[in-house]
C-alpha cells in the first residue's frame, strides 16, 4: 500500500509550490493586468501559517519546496522564512525532511538576497527573463528594469546558485531571440527553459495571437544547435535536452501542445491558503479556513487529502489559434503561484 500523499491514479505528491504573496514589482503581459487589484494583507497567510502548512506536507512525503509569488522577494522578512525552511533540509532523524528548497523570481531583488538564499540551503533558482532587449523587457514587464534582473542573475551565479532562465515563448514578441538567449545562457553557465503561454486570468493581452508551439521552436533550433536528448527528468514539467555547443541544457514546458499530466507530482498552495492540485482547474481546498478556525494538523491533513483525492487526470487548457477560443482558470498566475 502506498503511503504519503497519493492521488486517485497513483501519482505520489512529492513537490509543493508555495506562493508567499500575490504582489509583484512587474506586470508581465502574460501574467497580470496592468492595473492589478491586490489582496488585502489580512487575507494573506503570515509566515507562521505558511510554515505550519509546509511542515504538514513535508511530514507526508513532500521532498521539494519551491517558493513563488507574485514576486516572493518583495515580501518583507522573506530571508528568515527561507532560513527556517532551510533547517529542514537533509535531516533524516526528523519526521520529515526536505531534499530541495528552491524559488522562482523575476530577479529584480535577487542581488539583495542571493547570498542569504545560498546560506539557507537554496542551491538553484529559476529566473523569469523573456528577452535580452531592454525596450522589449520594459514592454513585456510594463515596468521592470532589465539591468536589475541581469544584476540579480550575476549575483546568484557569484553566490554559487545554479540558474535556470525561464522565457515564455511569444510569437511576434521574442521569437527572434531564442538563439541569442541560448548563446547567452551558455556564456554565463545557465540553463534555458522555454514555456508555452497559458490562458490564466485576464491580462489585457491577446494570448491567442501570441501562442507559439514549442515543437516548432525546437525543430527550428535543431537546425543550428546540436540538441542531445537527456534521460534524466526533473521533478518539474520541463523536458530537457543538452546543447552540445554550450554544455548547458534547454528545457521545454508544453502545457498546450503536449501536456505532461501523467507524471504530475505537484500541488500548489496559494498565498491565501487555497490548495490547488492542478494549475488548469479552479477546484481547491481552503486550508486557511481550517488554520484560522483552530484546526489541528489532523484536520489540515484531512483537508489536504480531500483535495488530492480530487486531483484531475489532466488539465483542460485550451488556446484556439484559429477559433480564438480560450479556456483556463479565471484566476491570475500571480494568485495561484508560478
Residues 111-165 pLDDT 10s: 999 999 999 999 999 999 999 999 999 999 999 999 999 999 999 999 999 999 9
Q: So what's the pLDDT on residue 88? A: 93
Is residue 288 annotated as involved in ligand binding?
no
Q: Is 193 annotated as a binding residue?
A: no
Q: Is the Cβ–Cβ distance between 266 and 15 less than 8 Å?
A: yes
Segment 279-284 shows an average pLDDT of 77
CA distance 221 to 234: 22
Residue 261 assigned to a binding site: yes
Flag whether 295 is marked binding. Answer: no
The C-alpha cell that represents 218 in the structure block: 525546437
Q: What's residue 264's pLDDT?
A: 86
The pLDDT score that the predictor gives to residue 118 is 98
| 123 labeled part of a ligand binding site | no
Residue 54 marked in a binding site: no
Is residue 28 annotated as involved in ligand binding? yes
Q: How confident is the model at residue 286 (pLDDT cuts 50, 70, 90)?
A: very high
66 appears as a binding residue in the annotation: yes
Judge whether 246 is annotated as a binding position: no
Tell whether residue 264 is among the known ligand binding residues: yes
70 annotated ligand binder: yes
Tens digit of each residue's pLDDT (9 = 90 or more) over 93-107: 555 689 999 999 999
pLDDT above 90 for 334: no
267 is in an annotated binding site: yes
- Is 198 a known ligand-binding residue? yes
CA angle 5, 8, 14 (to 5 degrees): 30
Other C-beta atoms lying within 10 Å of the C-beta of residue 153: 23
In 9-161, DSSP assigns E strands to 15-19, 64-68, 100-105, 124-128
User: What is the fold, at CATH topology level, of the domain defined by 15-336?
Assistant: TIM Barrel (3.20.20)
Amino acid at each position: 500500500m502506498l503511503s504519503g500523499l497519493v492521488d486517485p491514479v497513483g501519482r505520489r505528491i512529492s513537490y509543493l509550490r508555495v506562493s508567499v504573496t500575490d504582489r509583484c514589482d512587474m506586470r508581465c503581459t502574460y501574467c497580470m493586468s496592468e492595473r492589478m487589484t491586490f489582496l488585502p494583507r489580512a487575507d494573506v497567510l503570515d509566515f507562521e501559517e505558511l510554515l505550519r502548512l509546509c511542515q504538514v506536507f513535508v511530514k507526508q512525503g513532500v521532498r521539494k519546496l519551491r517558493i513563488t509569488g507574485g514576486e516572493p522577494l518583495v515580501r518583507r522578512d522573506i530571508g528568515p522564512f527561507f532560513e527556517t525552511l532551510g533547517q529542514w533540509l537533509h535531516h533524516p532523524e526528523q519526521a520529515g525532511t526536505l531534499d530541495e528548497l528552491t524559488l522562482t523570481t523575476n530577479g529584480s531583488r535577487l542581488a539583495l538576497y542571493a547570498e542569504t538564499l545560498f546560506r539557507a540551503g537554496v542551491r538553484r533558482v529559476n529566473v523569469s527573463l523573456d528577452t535580452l532587449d531592454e525596450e522589449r523587457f520594459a514592454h513585456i514587464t510594463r515596468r521592470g528594469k532589465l539591468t536589475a534582473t541581469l544584476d540579480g542573475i550575476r549575483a546568484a551565479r557569484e553566490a554559487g546558485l545554479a540558474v535556470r532562465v525561464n522565457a515564455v515563448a511569444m510569437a511576434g514578441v521574442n521569437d527572434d531571440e531564442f538563439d541569442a538567449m541560448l548563446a547567452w545562457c551558455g556564456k554565463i553557465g545557465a540553463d534555458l527553459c522555454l514555456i508555452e503561454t497559458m490562458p490564466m486570468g485576464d491580462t489585457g493581452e491577446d494570448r491567442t495571437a501570441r501562442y507559439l508551439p514549442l515543437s516548432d521552436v525546437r525543430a527550428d533550433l535543431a537546425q543550428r544547435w546540436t540538441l542531445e536528448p537527456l534521460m534524466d527528468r526533473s521533478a518539474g514539467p520541463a523536458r530537457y535536452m543538452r546543447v552540445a555547443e554550450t554544455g548547458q541544457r534547454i528545457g521545454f514546458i508544453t502545457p498546450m501542445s503536449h501536456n505532461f499530466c501523467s507524471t504530475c507530482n505537484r500541488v500548489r498552495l496559494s498565498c491565501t491558503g487555497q490548495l490547488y492540485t492542478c494549475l488548469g482547474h479552479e477546484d481547491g481546498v481552503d486550508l486557511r479556513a481550517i488554520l484560522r478556525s483552530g484546526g489541528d494538523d489532523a484536520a489540515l491533513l484531512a483537508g489536504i487529502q480531500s483535495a488530492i483525492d480530487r486531483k484531475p487526470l489532466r488539465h483542460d487548457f485550451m488556446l484556439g489559434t484559429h477559433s480564438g477560443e480560450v479556456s483556463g482558470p479565471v484566476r491570475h498566475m500571480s494568485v495561484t503561484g508560478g
